[in-house]
Structure 1
Amino acid sequence: MQIVSINDFIRQSFDFLVIGGGTAGLVVASRLAQDGKYTVGVLEAGGTANGREDVQIPGYLAMSLGSEIDWKFQTAPQTGLGGRSVSWPRGKALGGSSAINFMTWMRGAREDYDGWEALGNSGWGWNELLPYFKKSETFHTPSDSIRDEEDLRYDPEAFGDSGPIHISYAKEYSPSNRHWFKALNSLGVPTNSAHFAGSNVGAWTNVNNIDPRTMTRSFATNYCSLAGSNLHILTDATVQEVILDNIDNECVASGVRFTYKGEEHVALASREVILSAGSIKSPQILELSGIGNPEILSRAGIAVKVDSPMVGENLQDHNAVHIIAEVDPELENRDDLFFDANYAAEAREQYRRDQTGPLASIPSSYTFVPLASFMSQDTLERLHSQAQALTGFSPAKKTLMEQRLRHADRFGYAEYIFRLGAAPMAVTGKKFGTLFQILQYPFAVGSIHIQPPAAEGDDPVIDPRHYHGPRGEIDLEVMMESTRFARDILLAPAFSSVVKQIFHPPASSYANDEYMKKWITDSTAVAFHPVGTCAMGGHEGIRGGVVDERLKVYGVKKLRVVDASIMPLQISAHIQATVYAIAEKASSMILEDVAQN
């Protein structure tokens, strides 16, 4: 990677400056620098993550959370969660959250992206995005024996074959994977043979961004190899603001003010500044630069340069709860890596020797289930009526959100993932498994804003508004009903050779509405998929979003946002692959626009 010193960086004349060397930022920077025509600078607040075992080795997933490569954000206390704050990990290193996430590689439903386009964001539908999904990835086909043994089903034409991110199926699977499908099929959930091709309803074995040649994480730093010496990356650089000039009564971005080891510096860009700091930091940086809601900026002592009321609004994430079950103690279990020193040492040696064993794979048993699979028609109609009465959404956005309830058999509303292991839980003589249950289409919408007085080192206020107000009431009821379906999965006869009993919450509690609501509010976390805080405005323009369909910031020339924050509506998927596609598409648009000017 082209990491440079502070002296080398500030001596450069840049065509483009990219704020954030994360998932999207490294894609954009590398693609813009790829043909050697433009000089590109990247400012990353963290350091490097390559070479760290807690990043590279699949079986160590989640071990980097809370470390120095995690921003370690916390939400504001949530009234809908009984006053709790929730942890929001985000990557603080080159590669961003692609360096610390759980390596899940999937796409949303066709309808998710077509919905973005229906809001007035031309070019962002499924068909237009698909080439950019493919451009980011190289799919490695599984061996015939694994494909047949695990009944792996996929459409080979849906995958890319020459992108920087290597994706693959695992080479080994736990016996629980096959029983997972039998359990779901017995409950009326079909196996999905085209989970990568625009339809995510059903059960499948998922691919992961793991390079099968080395059995290591494949993440955004791979993109850096596309560029040469014209890509300059400065780590440990914290951006204070985008420099905005007034030229002929127009606001124009000309560079960035940042600190490095306590000293302030300025870097200028002759063509564009590209903000790729993620759904939490991107709106914060816009507000620190004077772009945002005048009331919020004034309270923080920031002079208003662009009145942009939606900066930091429209925050959406996936709500998640973890259901714990006691499992067959004879099954190889991820918890053994933490509680059995001999097992952990043997696994480490096996991985070192031939890249196999428990450290070489991660959970791959997935399903996305529509509401019609577990909700009565009366309940669906009542929730739909509640949704119709909601206010605060644009008519177009409200229509799309209502459709997900109205067409309750078409959308993967609840996600379930099963894995053997429930660390850090330990009970002598017992082993556990975890069923992750994740709400895909939340109605609750939150915000992220700077707090007064706004200082460089301060975190913004993250307020997702979990289960808050009438919108949150819909989310809470869906979570309660989907938790009951989770119980059905775990207790399905086809899963009995894996699950012995439900441990938490106890099986006897699921019929008690008040108990379940309290358990959900006490247990809810997030799936680390925040989106929407600098969303595309579509037909609503600056009153509905922060950027246009070319990702240009409303009211500012030569400034774009390129990351998950531009997503106007949450999708039914883990967002990683979509962020890569967004960045690939943005890179093409930027190069097109530059060529025309």
Structure 2
Amino acid sequence: MGDFDYIIVGGGSAGCVLANRLSADPKTRVLLLEAGGKDDYIWIKVPVGYLYCIGNPRTDWCLSTEAEAGLNGRALKYPRGRVLGGCSSINGMIYMRGQAADYDGWRQAGNPGWGWDDVLPYFTRAEDHYDGASPVHGSGGEIRVEKQRLRWDILEAFREACGQAGIPAIGDFNTGDNEGASFFQVTQRKGWRWSASDAFLKPVRSRTNLKVVTGALVDKVIIEQGRAVGVSYTLDGSPRTARANGEVLLAAGAIGSPAILERSGIGEAAHLSALGITPVCDAPQVGANLQDHLQLRCAWRVSGVATLNQRAANLFGKALIGLEYLLKRSGPMAMAPSQLGVFTRSDAHYASANLEYHVQPLSLEAFGGSLDPFPAFTASVCNLRPESRGTTRITAADPAAAPSIRPNYLSASEDCRVAAQAIRQVRGIVAQPALSRFRPEEVRPGIAFQSEDELRRSAGDIGTTIFHPVGTAAMGTVTDHRLRVNGIGALRVIDASVMPAITSGNTNAPTMMIAEKGAEMVIGDGKR
């Protein structure tokens, strides 16, 4: 492939931002390698199409966790984007920054430049907010952020019930304090998904100094004399190499980036040696510190109010839904998986909201399955700051081999306590007058579960990932505060892997912010 100034590995949420910013200088040659394909699949663009993208090998790596003790022996499907735009092409489109305290915690942990006041300008710079510019929002940037284009009485009632339970209604989750109940803002434009590829990559694809290669499965980083000088990869079944005069930037995500590091000889030396990989840098924290949000999908059957379960129960209802989207770009086909959000505390000793609810006008046994044959809603609740820590490790030197993913959900006693509190709390919200008129009947986990032990076990039965893995090449261990891999020159990780602690909310917006700030660091260091 020849020589480039920068090689970006991964064309997902972070990689698209990096490609845009680094290629802005026409003198800089940038190569973007994406293992997946082009994002020209119609179900990427239609918001409800995540149902057809997740679990589809055209757009998803279709990974799975190992059997989890905390989930009563269950293994979970673990979707990761396998397409330009990465997870932003298949995710729930929720634009959520987290809390100011999250980033202040990063800074206080020894990562200067990552406090809330430091990162807020990177959020706003790239934002095109539907309500225009303000001290906390941007206008005219690449990431379009809009309101959702539908309304459900059951969700309005749930929000009212939250107020009756002491959780106030707020207008915006993205001001630094997201405690309260509101409707999620989404990365959409006029009823279509607006991915990182739409926002950052497509507008600059014509730049002659930017080369984008899809279907390129990266094997490893080429390291010479302690410095990254290129990458080796496979394209159309043939081995290839590309050289970097400047830096190699890994943006393959919280599962992909540590895997590439390990195959490059950067990881736990004993594990790499056992796989026949020569250790280059003994870094046991590579692939460790895996954090994820586990959602507990609590569901209630209701009467006298519309839910998606009825609207999509027959061909006529589905046809009306399709017609509404065709004519107005609104309705269920335009909706994110979750519409109403609630941030609150599981108990008073937490300084800020430690629970997030995703409330949906539907119910189903498992994600991707059929809707229940009765009207119902789901109130998924997750612990925003889990203490459980897991790992992701490669299982072979072959880049096509699936890694071993062990999130270790509910392995920390505090996580089990919070899970039981969360189920009790959502029951209290549902018991409020605003919802009681719909005669809610608990479907999952079931009212029979009452004791601490029963609730803990039920959490293991109904808990599932909400697709937020982070932390596997964390700042302070694997990387420094400028995202440089410790012990290896000219190599950085710039994606969700570098989060030292998970943010208090959905992780796509923070990942793009990390790339925005990371690109500025790369450019600044290159000028020294």
Q: Tell me the TM-score normalized by structure 2.
A: 0.95
Match of 1:504 in 2: 444
Q: Which among 282, 290, 295 is matched to residue 307 of structure 1?
A: 282
Question: Do the aligned partners of residues 535 and 13 (structure 1) sit closer, same or farther apart at CA in structure 2, a change above 3 Å counting?
Answer: same
- How far 1:487 sits from its partner (Å)? 1.2
- How far 1:162 sits from its partner (Å)? 1.8
- 4+ residue runs over 6 A deviation: none
1:233-277 CA-to-partner distances (Å, cap 9, x unmatched) read: 11111000000001xxxx010000001122101011111100000
- Look up the SS of the partner of 1:158 in the other structure: coil
Matches within 5 A, 1:327-476: 327-328=302-303, 330-333=305-308, 336-337=311-312, 339-362=313-336, 363-372=338-347, 407-408=349-350, 410-423=351-364, 424-426=369-371, 428=373, 430-451=374-395, 453-468=396-411, 472-476=412-416
Mapped to 2, the partners of 1:308 and 1:561 lie a distance apart of 14
Mapped to 2, the partners of 1:456 and 1:59 lie a distance apart of 31
- Look up the SS of the partner of 2:474 in the other structure: coil
Indicate the structure with greater helix content.
1
Q: Which among 467, 471, 479 is matched to residue 528 of structure 1?
A: 467
- How far 1:332 sits from its partner (Å)? 4.5
Question: Do the aligned partners of residues 291 and 426 (structure 1) sit closer, same or farther apart at CA in structure 2, a change above 3 Å counting?
Answer: closer
Question: Do the aligned partners of residues 548 and 427 (structure 1) sit closer, same or farther apart at CA in structure 2, a change above 3 Å counting?
Answer: closer
* 1:287 and 1:297 in contact (8 A); partners too: yes
- Look up the SS of the partner of 1:208 in the other structure: coil
* 1:326 and 1:500 in contact (8 A); partners too: yes
What letter is aligned with 2:176?
Answer: G
Question: Do the aligned partners of residues 332 and 526 (structure 1) sit closer, same or farther apart at CA in structure 2, a change above 3 Å counting?
Answer: closer
- How far 1:193 sits from its partner (Å)? 4.2
Is 1:59 matched up with 2:69? Answer: no
- How far 1:498 sits from its partner (Å)? 4.6
What letter is aligned with 1:486?
Answer: V
- Look up the SS of the partner of 1:502 in the other structure: strand
1:287-317 CA-to-partner distances (Å, cap 9, x unmatched) read: 1000111111111111111122211111100
Aligned-pair RMSD on alpha carbons? 1.8
Gaps of 5+ in 2: none
Matches within 5 A, 1:270-285: 270-285=245-260
* 2:307 and 2:375 in contact (8 A); partners too: no
Question: Do the aligned partners of residues 332 and 443 (structure 1) sit closer, same or farther apart at CA in structure 2, a change above 3 Å counting?
Answer: closer
Is 1:95 matched up with 2:85? Answer: yes
Mapped to 1, the partners of 2:240 and 2:252 lie a distance apart of 18
- Look up the SS of the partner of 2:152 in the other structure: coil
Using the aligned pairs only, state the percent identity. Answer: 33
- How far 1:335 sits from its partner (Å)? 6.0
Q: Which among 218, 228, 239 is matched to residue 253 of structure 1?
A: 228
Question: Do the aligned partners of residues 60 and 497 (structure 1) sit closer, same or farther apart at CA in structure 2, a change above 3 Å counting?
Answer: farther
Q: Which among 481, 487, 492 is matched to residue 432 of structure 2?
A: 492
1:454-509 CA-to-partner distances (Å, cap 9, x unmatched) read: 222111111111222xxx221111101111111112222112345632222222x2
- Look up the SS of the partner of 2:37 in the other structure: coil
- Look up the SS of the partner of 1:62 in the other structure: helix
Mapped to 1, the partners of 2:104 and 2:511 lie a distance apart of 16
What letter is aligned with 1:223?
Answer: F
What letter is aligned with 1:557?
Answer: G
Mapped to 1, the partners of 2:49 and 2:309 lie a distance apart of 10
Mapped to 2, the partners of 1:426 and 1:135 lie a distance apart of 40
- Look up the SS of the partner of 2:341 in the other structure: strand
- How far 1:511 sits from its partner (Å)? 2.1
Mapped to 2, the partners of 1:346 and 1:582 lie a distance apart of 41
1:399-436 CA-to-partner distances (Å, cap 9, x unmatched) read: xxxxxxxx42x3211111211112435555x2121111
Match of 1:477 in 2: 417
What letter is aligned with 1:242?
Answer: V
- How far 1:520 sits from its partner (Å)? 1.1
* 2:346 and 2:425 in contact (8 A); partners too: no
- Look up the SS of the partner of 1:416 in the other structure: strand
Match of 1:237 in 2: 216
Q: Tell me the TM-score normalized by structure 1.
A: 0.84
* 1:368 and 1:416 in contact (8 A); partners too: yes
Is 1:298 matched up with 2:270? Answer: no
Range with greater deviation from structure 2 (261-270 or 61-70): 61-70
Question: Do the aligned partners of residues 594 and 421 (structure 1) sit closer, same or farther apart at CA in structure 2, a change above 3 Å counting?
Answer: same
- Look up the SS of the partner of 1:371 in the other structure: coil
Is 1:197 matched up with 2:186? Answer: no
- How far 1:101 sits from its partner (Å)? 0.4
